[in-house]
């Protein structure tokens, strides 16, 4: 079955790793009809375009979005992040950020990050900016609907796995409003899943456990900010950020989901053929899973196993291709 995929190579090493990833997905048997969208920091510098209403409308016609990386030092912080990445998450309702990890000892676990609320929702502002009395506020927006649907996704995923265990991570002893909502929703939804065991960790404790005892985790669910921190830490204990894949999901499929490696645009090595494409390949495998091509996705993941990540882009891609 053919699938329509919007491709955003983006900035830096993004186009390099996406090109390799697409060649491997196709070699594994995926039938992908791709369209390139010129978006990223480079496009903003050309004509000021970030993510227009028309482009967003065009993206809705696709089955999935495959993104390499965006961001360049020549663009002020926040313009691309908020104008492209966060806007896509909000407008396409990509409320689940899913990141799988396999530690160097072979333990596999998954982090679910709520992807459209929390401190990233943009609530806040300045008073008396630029003066000695300046005040900056940055609120955290947590709705019952947004929190519960994320938690429920976590329980469903945990139920589908052998261990059937779900851990909530937050900071309920200090964040007594948002934390209370998350904890109450978690406990109420848990009643509907008696076959899933549960646990709770404060975020600071979870950071320690991720390093010292990741084996306690099966599925983790948390809010946007804590999820951002934990998933980068998860990459660090799983072979490095070059291996870290991710999916930004609209589980109801009312809009296309977006799949991307999380390593960033790495402008210092762009164009040198040094980028590790493994994270992009594994993100592509997640895309194939979501599109129903599970056998091909499994083939791609298996091909990535035991491939050294210290070669150049071409060598690593060729090694993965040889394992198909």
The residue from 44, 62, 95, 120 that is catalytic is: 120
Entry pTM: 0.95
> What's the confidence (pLDDT) of residue 169?
98
> Residue 95 catalytic?
no
> What's the confidence (pLDDT) of residue 194?
98
Cβ burial 208-217 (10 Å sphere, 16+ → b, else e)? ebbeeebebb
Q: What is the pLDDT of residues 94-104, one digit of tens each?
A: 999 999 999 98
The residue from 44, 171, 218, 223 that is catalytic is: 171
| Cα–Cα nearest to 65, from 80, 77, 51 | 51
> Residue 204 catalytic?
yes
> What's the confidence (pLDDT) of residue 199?
98
CB 67 within 8 A of CB 8: yes
Domains of the chain and any CATH numbers? 1-100+241-324 (3.40.718.10), 105-237 (3.40.718.10)
> Residue 213 catalytic?
no
Contacts 24+ apart (CB under 8 A), 190-193: 190/155, 192/155, 193/155, 193/158, 193/159
> What's the confidence (pLDDT) of residue 109?
97
> What's the confidence (pLDDT) of residue 6?
98
CA–CA gap between residue 216 and residue 209 (Å, rounded)? 8
The segments of the chain whose pLDDT lies below 50 read none
> What's the confidence (pLDDT) of residue 104?
83
> Residue 120 catalytic?
yes
> What's the confidence (pLDDT) of residue 243?
85
Q: What is the pLDDT of residues 275-311, one digit of tens each?
A: 999 999 999 999 999 999 999 999 999 999 988 777 8
The residue from 36, 204, 213, 268 that is catalytic is: 204
> Residue 31 catalytic?
no
The residue from 74, 180, 213, 232 that is catalytic is: 232
């Amino acid at each position: 079955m053919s699938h329509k995929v919007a491709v955003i190579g983006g900035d830096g090493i993004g186009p390099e790793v996406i090109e390799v990833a697409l060649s491997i997905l196709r070699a594994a048997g995926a039938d992908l009809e791709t369209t390139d969208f010129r978006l990223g920091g480079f496009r903003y510098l050309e004509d000021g375009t970030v993510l227009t209403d028309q482009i967003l409308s065009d993206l809705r016609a696709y089955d999935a979005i495959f993104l390499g990386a965006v961001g360049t030092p020549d663009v002020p912080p926040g313009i691309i992040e908020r104008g492209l990445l966060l806007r896509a998450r909000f407008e396409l309702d990509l409320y689940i950020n899913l990141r799988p990890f396999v530690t160097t000892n072979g333990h596999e676990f998954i982090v679910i990050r709520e992807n459209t609320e929390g401190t990233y929702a943009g609530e806040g502002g300045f008073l008396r900016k630029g003066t000695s009395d300046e005040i900056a506020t940055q609120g955290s927006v947590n709705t019952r609907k947004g929190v519960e649907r994320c938690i429920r996704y976590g329980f469903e995923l945990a139920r589908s796995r052998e261990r059937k265990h779900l851990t909530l991570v937050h900071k309920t002893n200090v964040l007594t409003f948002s934390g209370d909502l998350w904890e109450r929703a978690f406990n109420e939804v848990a009643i509907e899943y008696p076959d899933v065991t549960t646990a709770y960790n404060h975020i600071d404790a979870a950071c320690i456990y991720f390093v010292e005892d990741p084996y306690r985790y099966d599925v983790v669910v948390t809010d946007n900010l804590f999820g951002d921190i934990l998933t980068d830490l998860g990459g660090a204990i799983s072979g490095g950020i070059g291996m870290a894949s991710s999916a930004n999901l609209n589980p109801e499929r009312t809009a296309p989901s977006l799949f991307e490696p999380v390593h960033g645009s790495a402008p210092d090595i762009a164009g040198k053929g040094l980028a590790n494409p493994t994270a992009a390949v594994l993100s592509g495998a997640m895309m194939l899973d979501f599109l129903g091509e599970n056998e091909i996705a499994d083939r791609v993941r298996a091909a990535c196993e035991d491939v050294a990540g210290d070669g150049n882009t071409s060598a690593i891609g060729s090694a993965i291709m040889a394992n198909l």
